[in-house]
Amino acid sequence: MTKDKQPSALSQIIAYAGSSKPLLYLGCVLSGINALISLAPLFCVWFVLRDLIKVFPNFEQASDAYIWALLAVVFSIASLLVYFIALLLTHKSAFRIAANIRTKLLEHISQIPLGYFIGHSSGEMRRTIDSSAASTEDLIAHKLPDFVASLISPIVFIVLAFVFNWLLGLLCLIPILVSVAAMWWMMGRKSAQGGEYFMQRYQQALMDMSAGATEYIRGIPVVKMFQQTTYSFKAFYKTVMDYRDMAYQYTEYCKKPQVFQLVAINSAFAVLVPAGIILAQSAENFSIFLIDFLFYVILSAFITTIMTKVMYATETVMIAQDAVNRINGILAAPIIKDVSLRESEVPENYDISISNLSFSYPGSSNQVLNNVSMKIPASSIVALVGESGGGKTTLASLIPRFWDADSGDIKIGGVSVKEIALKDLMGLVAFVFQNDHLLKMSIEDNLRLARPSASREDILAALKAAQCQDIIDKFDGGINTVIGAEGVYLSGGERQRISLARAILKDAPIVLLDEATAFADPENEALIQKAMSKLCAGKTVLMIAHRLSTVVNVDNIYVLDKGKIAESGSHNELLAHDGIYKNMWSEYQKGISWKIESEGSDVA
């Protein structure tokens, strides 16, 4: 089986550098050069020592030693300078990459269908944009140049090791070889379960635990209500235990290689010193041997630093992979094509015609709407009824293009909704959701979302029309009361009325009304009825109704059953034949009489 080869995570990130790519490459090359230069002073020190020993004890004759010492200083300064320039270049490129990633994500998000945001919290998306862009900043500015340097250093190190005394050099290399082997052992080996790399399973266990904790905390109210604390806690507890087991297994597994590695890189001297003593006895020129030996002792001291750097460099790849996964996750969301405001067509009237509409939610194989056709004549009220999960909310949400249908079309005044710019389309439609979307801001600001230019009088008038006077009077802050602030609690019916006020303020020619399943009390219900009739007066209305009393007088009723239109007609027409609606109606009547009876018995 062939698999499409994806570019590596790092090259996907670098692709965002655009015209700053050469800067990034140059920065990395300079960082590599710096790795070379930074070892040069060590070399110079060897020559200084050699020249000093040669002329011992007449040090004034060691003129070359001064030159080598000076060169050591020059190399040290050059190394700093080159590193500084390298970081300057990589930072420039890193900021460009982060900015390009943010722009690309925001551009994409602005084209994502609105419905997508119902299933994905905007806070989570903001965090993804911020944190993935920020982690690429650090990755490109620091980790990548260090990564290049950490690849170059061991090579230089190996070459240097053989320059003066190959036998001592070889001994110096032993710790490096052991350390590399141990790292390969720790990182590269697959675990027995499913052949996944240990590191992958470890990361997965960490993510599961964090998701488990979020779910547990989110569900606390429901869990307590149903007294399911132990059960729910068990699910979270399991992720914690899985993580513990995984971490323990991994630690257990790493125990041996880690010991080998740490001992190897820290015991370079332990190998070198006895070997030096043995080799010294057979040395032809003892003083030269002594300088060589000193050189290798100093070189060994570098091993720890270099190998630790190499070890952490592998982290770079993981950070890049994580950032790319999150970025691509957002970019994978579908986009909706919008026409420009200039090309946007203006409907002649506001009648809505839906023809042969079929739809499944992105990523789901379940067909929610199947060849649905219906008409909502301008300035009429059409109701949509049907069993829960039948697709009513979905159908209404396709009109303002929360999603685009898979096939079929929706026309407003003869113009396909796809030919109307989204901004214009939003202006044409006011919707009141089943689950109201009130934000944690003042009542006034919540309303103002519908029409930012509205005056205070407009807002008060809309609240009055939506029967919200009692809500405003209840709080000292009046319309400045912040919804959701401490001590401010609105009932379901009250929230629904505020949502209706917002839709009234918008004063759009088309109204989509998704009635809440239940209202708190009869008083609220009567107020909501009044608010709804104010909102619907003179508009083209699609009303999704759960309590059939609301639809008795509407112009036309469509019954949606399992994604298909099963029946349509006026209330009386539908009652005249034995179908779903008639059934629903008698069930509804039974419900009402049961309610009256039980209330009657309460009184008695």
- List of residues contacting ligand ATP (CB under 6 A): 118-119, 361, 364, 368, 388-394, 434
Number of Cβ atoms within 10 Å of the Cβ of 583: 11
**304 touches Mg ion (CB under 5 A):** no
CB-nearer residue toward ligand ATP: 360 or 379 = 360
Residue (of 254, 272, 274, 275) closest to 264 by Cα position: 272
Q: How remote is the C-alpha of 511 from its chain's centroid?
A: 33
Report in angstroms how near the CB of residue 334 gets to ligand ATP at its nearest: 12
What, of Mg ion, ligand ATP, none, does residue 334 touch, CB below 5 to 8 Å by kind?
Answer: none
Tell me how far, at minimum, the Cβ of 389 lies from ligand ATP, in Å. Answer: 4
Q: 384, exposed or middle or buried, with CB in 10 Å at 0-12, 13-18, 19+?
A: buried
C-alpha 33/C-alpha 390 separation (Å) is 67
Nearer CB in complex with ligand ATP: 2/388: 388
User: Minimal distance in Å, beta carbon 544 to ligand ATP?
Assistant: 7
Shortest distance (Å) from residue 120 CB to ligand ATP: 10
Binding to Mg ion by residue 353, rule CB under 5 A? no
User: What tokens appear for 437 in the block?
Assistant: 């979307």
In the list Mg ion, ligand ATP, none, the entry touching 96 (Cβ below 5 to 8 angstroms by class) is: none
Q: How far is residue 167 from each of residues 124, 178, 278, measured CA to CA in Å?
A: 58, 17, 12
Nearer to Mg ion, 379 or 393 (CB): 393
Question: Looking at beta carbons, which residue is closest to Mg ion?
Answer: 393
Residue 243 in contact with residue 208, Cβ under 8 Å?
A: yes
Residue 191's alpha-carbon distances to 162, 318, 513, in angstroms, are 38, 18, 55
Q: Strand, helix or coil at 482?
A: strand
Encoded tokens for 419:
């030919």
Q: Residue 43 or residue 361: which is nearer to ligand ATP going by CB?
A: 361
The entry of ligand ATP, Mg ion, none near residue 540 (CB within 5 to 8 angstroms by kind) is none
* Residue 153 or 556 with smaller CB distance to ligand ATP: 556
User: For ligand ATP, which is the closer residue by CB, 285 or 583?
Assistant: 583
Cα 240 to Cα 144, 223, 250, 463, distances in angstroms: 34, 19, 15, 50
Minimum CB distance to ligand ATP smaller for 176 or for 574: 574
Q: If binding is defined by CB under 5 A, does position 433 make contact with Mg ion?
A: no
User: Which residue, 118 or 254, has its beta carbon nearer to ligand ATP?
Assistant: 118
> Would you count residue 128 as binding Mg ion (CB under 5 A)?
no
Query: What region does 414 belong to: left with phi over 0, alpha with psi -120 to 50, or beta?
Result: left
Tell the smallest beta-carbon distance from residue 360 to ligand ATP (Å). 8
Residue 250 binds which entry of Mg ion, ligand ATP, none, CB below 5-8 Å type-dependent: none
- Identify what 58 binds: Mg ion, ligand ATP, none; CB under 5 to 8 Å per kind: none
Q: How far is the CB of 364 from ligand ATP (least distance, A)?
A: 5
In the list Mg ion, ligand ATP, none, the entry touching 367 (Cβ below 5 to 8 angstroms by class) is none
CA distances, 379 to each of 353, 382, 385 (Å): 13, 10, 20
Distance (Å, whole) CA 260 – CA 179? 7
Burial of residue 20, with CB atoms counted within 10 A of its CB: 0-12 exposed, 13-18 middle, 19 or more buried: buried
Q: What's the min distance (Å) between Cβ of 562 and ligand ATP?
A: 9
Are the beta carbons of 218 and 270 closer than 8 angstroms?
A: no
Q: Work out what residue 368 binds among ligand ATP, Mg ion, none; the CB cut-off runs from 5 to 8 Å by kind.
A: ligand ATP
Collect all residues with Cβ–Cβ distance below 8 Å to 560 and sequence separation of at least 6.
372, 384, 385, 386, 390, 391, 392, 395, 566
Q: Which is nearer to Mg ion, 367 or 393 (CB)?
A: 393
Judge whether 382 and 374 are in contact, CB under 8 Å.
Answer: yes
Q: Residue 361, interface with Mg ion (CB under 5 A)?
A: no
**Least CB distance from residue 109 to ligand ATP, whole Å?**
17
Q: 344 or 434: whose CB is closer to ligand ATP?
A: 434
Question: Which entry of Mg ion, ligand ATP, none binds 394, CB below 5 to 8 A by partner kind?
Answer: ligand ATP
Dist CA 390 CA 603 (whole Å) = 38
Question: Please, which residue, 113 or 276, has the CB nearer to ligand ATP?
Answer: 113
CB 385 within 8 A of CB 557: yes
Q: How far is the CB of 227 from ligand ATP (least distance, A)?
A: 27
- Which of Mg ion, ligand ATP, none does 364 bind, CB closer than 5 to 8 A by kind? ligand ATP
381-385 and 540-544 as β-strands: parallel, antiparallel, unpaired? parallel
Which residue lies nearer to ligand ATP by CB, 118 or 319?
118
464-493 residues in contact with Mg ion (CB under 5 A) are none
Q: b vs e for 91-117, b when ≥16 Cβ sit within 10 Å of the residue's Cβ?
A: bbbbebbbebbbebbeeebeebbebbe
Contact call for residue 547 and Mg ion (CB under 5 A): no
- Count of chain residues binding Mg ion (CB under 5 A): 1
Shortest reach from residue 366's CB to Mg ion, in Å: 15
Residue 240 or 584 having the CB closest to ligand ATP? 584
Q: Find which of ligand ATP, Mg ion, none residue 361 binds, CB within 5 to 8 Å per kind.
A: ligand ATP
State the minimum distance, in angstroms, from the CB of residue 385 to Mg ion.
11
Site residues for Mg ion, window 44-83 (CB under 5 A)?
none
* CA 315 – CA 319 distance, rounded (Å): 6
Chain centroid offset of residue 439 CA = 22
Q: 364 to 423, contacts with Mg ion by CB under 5 A?
A: 393
**361/548 Cα distance (integer angstroms):** 28
87/244 Cα distance (integer angstroms): 39
Query: Least separation, in Å, of the C-beta of 3 and ligand ATP?
Result: 29
- Rg over CA atoms, the chain: 37
Binding region for Mg ion (CB under 5 A): 393
